[in-house]
Amino acid sequence: MVKKCESIFKSCTYKETPFNCCDRLVQFSTEVGFCYAFNSRLAHTLLPDNGTITDDFKDEKINEGDISWSLKVQASKDKEEIPNIKIYVHSAEETPTVELSPLYTWRYDMGKILFTDKQTYTTSDSRQLSIKQRKCAFPDEIKLDTDVYYTFSGCMSQCRLRLAKEKCNCVPPFYRKI
């Protein structure tokens, strides 16, 4: 059963500015269940009625070492209603998938969770290596049918979508249309 946003979140603040949690935390369906996302291009741009991708997403940056730039979410205190909250931290282009483990499963036992953003990048010099050798792909090297951005999780989700279509002649509702 999907819980209403108002019953899960009590208050939210980003960069020391309070906001209505249910206006900015977008609910969407993923391989791991229903999620509420902040700063997710996929959750923000996927319109549930027709699967259309829009391009009005604004990527919010959370800077390392400055607590005033943090995202603060206070959850409901009702442990019986919402026993565990799984917290995933990933880039704005990713979405929780079966390959991604939660950073933390919150059981009302901790007041704050702080994390540091680390981005891995590579230079164009690495193009001389094969994708298999470097274990990553540049965005223009692999085109996905399910998204305009290539990500590992997007690629794996697309493979599972195609397998479901091939084996069952159907597509689970949490996958994008192709």
User: Within a domain: residue 173?
Assistant: no
Cα distances (Å, whole numbers) of residue 120 to 57, 96, 117: 22, 19, 10
The domain total for the chain is 1
What value does the CA radius of gyration of the chain take, rounded to a whole number of Å?
Answer: 18
Residue 133 is assigned to a structural domain of this protein = yes
How many CB atoms sit inside 10 A of residue 28's CB? 17
Domain-located, residue 176: no
What pTM was computed for the model? 0.70
So what's the pLDDT on residue 51?
47
Give one word for 169, left, alpha or beta, with left for phi > 0 and alpha for psi -120 to 50. left
- Would you state the pLDDT for residue 163? 93
- Judge whether 124 lies within some domain: yes
Burial of 53 (0-12, 13-18, 19+ CB in 10 A): middle
Q: Which pLDDT score, from 0 to 100, does residue 155 have?
A: 87
Which H helix or E strand runs over 9? strand 9-14
In a domain, 175, yes or no: no
Q: For the chain, 178 residues long, give each residue's pLDDT as a single digit of tens.
A: 566 788 888 888 888 889 998 888 888 888 888 888 888 877 766 544 444 555 566 777 666 656 666 778 887 766 666 667 788 877 778 878 888 888 888 776 766 666 666 667 788 899 999 989 988 888 788 888 888 788 888 888 899 999 999 999 988 888 876 6
- Per-residue model confidence (pLDDT) at position 49: 46
Q: Measuring CA to CA, how many Å separate 30 from each of 18, 58, 94, 148, 154? A: 27, 21, 11, 18, 11
Residue 178: inside a domain, yes or no? no
Does residue 56 form part of some domain? yes
**Range of the structural domain that residue 95 is part of:** 5-168
The residue among 166, 167, 143, 141 whose CA lies nearest residue 155 is 143
Q: Is residue 177 part of a domain?
A: no
